[in-house]
Amino acid sequence: MNDKKVILTGDRPTGKLHLGHYVGTLKNRVVLQNTGEYTPYIMVADLQALTDNANNPQKIRDSLIEVTLDYLAVGIEPTKSTIFLQSQIPELAELTMYYMNLVTVARLQRNPTVKAEIKQKSFEKSLPVGFFTYPISQAADITAFNAKYVPVGEDQLPMIEQTREIVRTFNSLYGETLVEPEAVLPDSEICKRLPGIDGKEKMSKSLGNGIYLSDDADTVTQKVMSMFTDPNHIKVEDPGNVEDNTVFTYLDAFCSDKVVLDEMKTHYTRGGLGDMKVKRCLNDILQAELEPIRKRRAEYEKNLAEVYKILLEGSLRAKSVAADTLSKVRKAIGIEYFDQNMGSSQGGRYV
Ligand code: ATP
Ligand code: MG
């Protein structure tokens, strides 16, 4: 039996993946995958994406291949990680149904990430039930694969906490069945929640404030050049502020040479270092990081049939694991009334 610890994580196919995904979770996934010590499952969460895009399934269909290309581009390898599509695993929907009985409406209403998203999407008066309950379906996704570790950005912490509560409630009611997961966050505070290029909210597909892993070199340069710096740093000689300065925030996230970065910060604070120079430095660093990713993406783009095959094969593997958990869950609750032969000439047998 394979006793490696399981990792489960995923992304909503609501657009292409951006630098926030990269530093918040994708990098961690690749590192964990390459240790060989874990069994990673990576889910394209198309059902979750439908909870706030029910009127636009085409967007999700288009995005799911883009997200998968982004995975492959950053180094997630289908021979080491199982990449699968949530909608192809109906067992997840059934698990969600059972877990719904273990969570109160009041508890869901307290979820700070969902609260913020409801506001951001102006859902106050038109909140889809599916969207409101997506933290429960996320618990189904995580527990179906017996995941111990979930590499995520900070906005997902309330979902992991909700999952842990469901697991504890389930196990205490029906006996030890489910594995209690833990979040794996990046070490750097900034990478836990990378702001968008507007410097305000977190970088998010839905807010259009992202630098995408698939952006070409010119687009990245253009986005970097449009970023806000210190509004009071007008002339090069003016002393500048590196706090609340999005360009420096990104340098904190992406510049690996902390000595050089500290020197730049001191120089900028003292005065005499121009915004254009700092932006050019950030641009060089980002281009160097993104170039190999773009190249790998372009290779996979030439063979989309292969990418769909990766998704299909991953989904078949994932389905059999989820079915096994579902069977355990049904037995634990005590609703597995008949054996597999129900309907055969011998009739069903109570198990
Ligand atoms: P949407 O706007 O559709 O919700 P999103 O940009 O928030 O899209 P998700 O698919 O919801 O992306 O998130 C996927 C993963 O990426 C999660 O683990 C999430 O925590 C992480 N993540 C998303 N945005 C950031 C960010 N700006 N910084 C760090 N991690 C992030
Ligand atoms: Mg999100």
User: Rounded to the nearest whole angstrom, what is the distance from the C-alpha of residue 160 to the centroid of ligand 2?
Assistant: 14
In ligand 1, which atom is closest to the CA atom of 156? 20
In ligand 1, which atom is closest to the CA atom of 26? 16
Q: Is any atom of ligand 1 closer than 6 Å to the C-beta of 251?
A: no
pLDDT digits (tens, 9 = 90+) for 294-310: 999 999 999 999 999 99
pLDDT digits (tens, 9 = 90+) for 175-196: 999 999 999 999 999 999 999 9
Which one of the ligands is nearest to 207 CA? Answer: 1
Nearest to 81 by CA among 166, 7, 154: 7
User: Which of helix, strand or coil describes residue 54?
Assistant: coil
pTM (predicted TM-score): 0.94
Tokens of 82: 């199982």
Q: Is any atom of ligand 1 closer than 6 Å to the C-beta of 67?
A: no
Nearest-CA residue for ligand 1 atom 7 is 204
Amino acid at 180: E
pLDDT digits (tens, 9 = 90+) for 14-70: 999 999 999 999 999 999 999 999 999 999 999 999 999 999 999 999 999 999 999
User: Rounded to the nearest whole angstrom, what is the distance from the C-alpha of residue 206 to the centroid of ligand 1?
Assistant: 10
Examine the pLDDT at 121 and tell me if it is beyond 70.
Answer: yes
Domain boundaries of the chain, sorted by first residue: 5-193+304-341, 217-300
Class in CATH terms, 217-300:
mainly alpha
* 23-27, 74-78, 137-141, 347-351: the lowest-pLDDT one: 347-351
How many residues are given for the chain?
351
Examine the pLDDT at 141 and tell me if it is beyond 50.
Answer: yes
Q: What is the CA radius of gyration of the chain?
A: 23
**Strands lying side by side in the sheet with 5-11:** 82-85, 38-44, 5-11, 149-151, 182-184
Name the packing angle between helices 134-144 and 157-174 (round to 10°). 70
Distance between CA atoms of 95 and 322, rounded to whole angstroms? 9
CATH classification number, 5-193+304-341, choose in 3.40.50.620, 3.40.50.170, 3.40.50.1820, 3.20.20.140: 3.40.50.620
Amino acid at 251: L
Mean of all residue pLDDT scores within the chain:
94
Distance between CA atoms of 139 and 167, rounded to whole angstroms? 8
In ligand 1, which atom is closest to the CA atom of 195? 27
* CATH fold match for the domains 5-193+304-341 and 217-300: no
